[in-house]
A and B are shown apart, each in its own frame.
Chain A
Amino acid sequence: MAEIKVEGLRHVYSAGTPFEKVAIEDVSLTIPQGQLVGVIGHTGSGKSTFIQHLNALLQPTSGKVLVGGRDINENKFTRRDVKWEVGIVFQYPEYQLFEETVYRDIAFGPRNMKLPEDEIDRRVREAARFAQVGEELFERSPLELSGGQKRRIAIAGVIALRPGVLILDEPTAGLDPAGCRQILDNICSYHKESGSTVIIVSHNMDDTARIAERIIAFDHGRVAMDGTPEQVFSEPEKLIAMGLDVPKATALAMALKGAGVPLDGSIYTHGQLLRAVLRAKEAATC
């Protein structure tokens, strides 16, 4: 179980060529064990580069990444071992499925860890349960299943590593609303039951606002905002200036305020909006 500490992280792509591009600069933050973090930022803001540093898929140009107090880029062994500690589910993970059966695909990670066969079996079944992959699918080919099922299998493939930190890059992109809700529910229940740190990169502000305990906003390779949803969504203008959406409840609250309705407090969920409107109504009738 591990705390993530990032110190002065900077990454430059194609350093020393005309295509040089600074992707992230001066990122320092600490993510304690067990937090559910939402990472937001528009395309090209550096959030994907950032998460790939957390399990040493990318090496920093300068700066350090510590997982559990240990520098993960110390040598090639720490770089390999951190992959068991920090699991990443990439965008459209269903495109990485390759095995003949669902069971063997989920078992790919644990097998790479060289675990005994009975431990692999235990982990596959556990991961499948978390990701709601029914055991009746185990002997089917992953390629013949639906998009939502494939994605849950791919997520199970990473959960089977039992990572202390689970990172998901746009886990709901391209799914229908029911599929989105199911995946987010799975992630939330995994977070609660396992006590793992979960980091979700997302464009969907409503989802992020609903489930995250903390929100980190990237802008031009730097951390522009970092705080609880309450703090971050109390400055909707700033988010809009960064090219981001705000939750629907926040947008509606802004419109109401603009029309002269006196609403107070940070509003980012439907419940908060409802309560604020009722408070305003009460104040007006008094």
Chain B
Amino acid sequence: MLKDITLGQYFPGDTIVHRLDPRTKLILVVVYIIALFQAKGWVSYAAVTLATALCMILSHIRPKNIFKGLKPMLFIIVLTALLNIFYTEGREIIPGWHMTWEGLARSVQMILRIVLLITGTFLLTYTTSPIALTDGLEMLLSPLKKIKVPVHEMTLMMSMALRFIPTLIEETDKIMSAQKARGADFETGRLIDRAKALLPILVPLFVSAFRRADELAVAMESRCYHGGEGRTRMKTLHFAAHDWIALILGALFLTGLFVMKHYGI
């Protein structure tokens, strides 16, 4: 049951989007988010939506998977939409009710903005393996090492965290079975009872997480891990022609949106 949770799931594939350098994709996602927040008029929203759809088609990601990821955000999306309908000044749709046409337009735009934002970031995690992602992040952030930011350590922690999510989920499943066999009840009772019922899961889970961390540290040290200094990689990242093309397209896209913003469309 817990195994059904998907977090930052990666769908392996061999499309042009999958082949892009992770650094390119990371930069493009940042560009995309900036562009999205420049959109004011319907034309610019249409442009961003079109670009997103194009990327989805290119990466062979099915809309179904995107919708699955959107589900947990449904509450926030609906709430934002409602607030915008009711709290925007303008012409009232039904006289006497505080619901305006301007508010309606604005809430549609807000929904679009949230959905596009999530879709864009999903496209990144769906097409890039966690390892490639953290590698890319480390190289992009490496200039920060000059001002003593521990970039390597941070990205290493990130990839370890990703690596251990499935392991810990499995562990949680096991501990839950064991406590259920001793009559623990996680489903019924008042809220406070249910919170207390989590203790028999959380304590063993923390203990085992610390134990695993300890074992991992020993395993890394026994293979001579000594930090990021002078460390080479099995797979080095290379910028190819398509990366430069993608970046140029991204720059053009961003410029286009700034122009649209200037004209207010």
Let me know if B203 is at the binding interface, CB within 8 A.
yes
Contact, CB under 8 Å: B181 / A84: no
| Size of the chain A interface, CB-CB below 8 angstroms | 23
If the complex has contacts A52-B177, A93-B178, are A84 and B183 also in contact, measured as CB distance less than 8 A? yes
Let me know if A164 is at the binding interface, CB within 8 A.
no
Report A90-143 residues with CB < 8 Å from chain B CB.
Answer: 90, 93, 95-99, 108-109, 112-113, 143
**Listed residue (B178, B181, B200, B203) with the most chain A CB atoms within 10 angstroms of its CB:** B181
Let me know if B204 is at the binding interface, CB within 8 A.
yes
Provide the main secondary structure of the chain B interface: helix
Q: How many angstroms from the CA of A112 to the CA of B181 in the assembled complex?
A: 11
> How many whole Å from B198's CB to the nearest CB in chain A?
11
Contact, CB under 8 Å: B178 / A90: yes
Contact, CB under 8 Å: B183 / A96: no
Q: How many angstroms from the CA of A221 to the CA of B227 in the assembled complex?
A: 47
Residues of chain A with a CB closer than 8 A to B199's CB: 98
Contact, CB under 8 Å: B182 / A57: no
> How many whole Å from B73's CB to the nearest CB in chain A?
24
If the complex has contacts A96-B204, A98-B204, are A83 and B183 also in contact, measured as CB distance less than 8 A? yes
Residue among A80, A84, A96, A113 making CB contact with B179, cutoff 8 Å: A96
Residue among A57, A108, A143 making CB contact with B200, cutoff 8 Å: A108
Q: How many angstroms from the CA of A95 to the CA of B64 in the assembled complex?
A: 39
> How many whole Å from B172's CB to the nearest CB in chain A?
11
Let me know if B175 is at the binding interface, CB within 8 A.
yes
Let me know if B78 is at the binding interface, CB within 8 A.
no
Q: How big is chain B's contact interface, by range?
A: 10 to 19
Let me know if A161 is at the binding interface, CB within 8 A.
yes
Let me know if B242 is at the binding interface, CB within 8 A.
no
Residues of chain A with a CB closer than 8 A to B174's CB: 90, 95
Contact, CB under 8 Å: B180 / A83: yes
Let me know if B82 is at the binding interface, CB within 8 A.
no
If the complex has contacts A90-B174, A95-B175, A98-B199, are A158 and B204 also in contact, measured as CB distance less than 8 A? no
Contact, CB under 8 Å: B177 / A108: no
- Closest chain B residue, CB of each to CB of A57: B177
Contact, CB under 8 Å: B181 / A83: yes
Let me know if A171 is at the binding interface, CB within 8 A.
no
A-B contact pairs, 30 of them (CB 8 A): A52-B177, A55-B181, A57-B177, A57-B181, A80-B185, A83-B180, A83-B182, A83-B183, A84-B183, A87-B181, A87-B182, A88-B178, A90-B174, A90-B178, A95-B174, A95-B175, A95-B178, A95-B207, A95-B208, A96-B179, A96-B182, A96-B200, A98-B199, A98-B200, A98-B203, A112-B182, A112-B183, A113-B183, A158-B182, A161-B182
Knowing that A84-B183, A88-B181, A98-B203 are A-B contacts, what are 19 other residue pairs whose CB atoms are under 8 Å apart, sorted by A's residue number?
A: A57-B180, A80-B183, A80-B185, A83-B180, A83-B181, A83-B183, A88-B178, A90-B174, A90-B177, A95-B174, A95-B175, A96-B178, A96-B204, A97-B204, A98-B199, A98-B202, A108-B182, A109-B183, A158-B182
Listed in ascending order, the chain A residues whose CB lies under 8 Å from chain B are: 52, 55, 57, 80, 83-84, 87-88, 90, 93, 95-99, 108-109, 112-113, 143, 157-158, 161
Listed in ascending order, the chain B residues whose CB lies under 8 Å from chain A are: 174-175, 177-185, 199-200, 202-204, 207-208
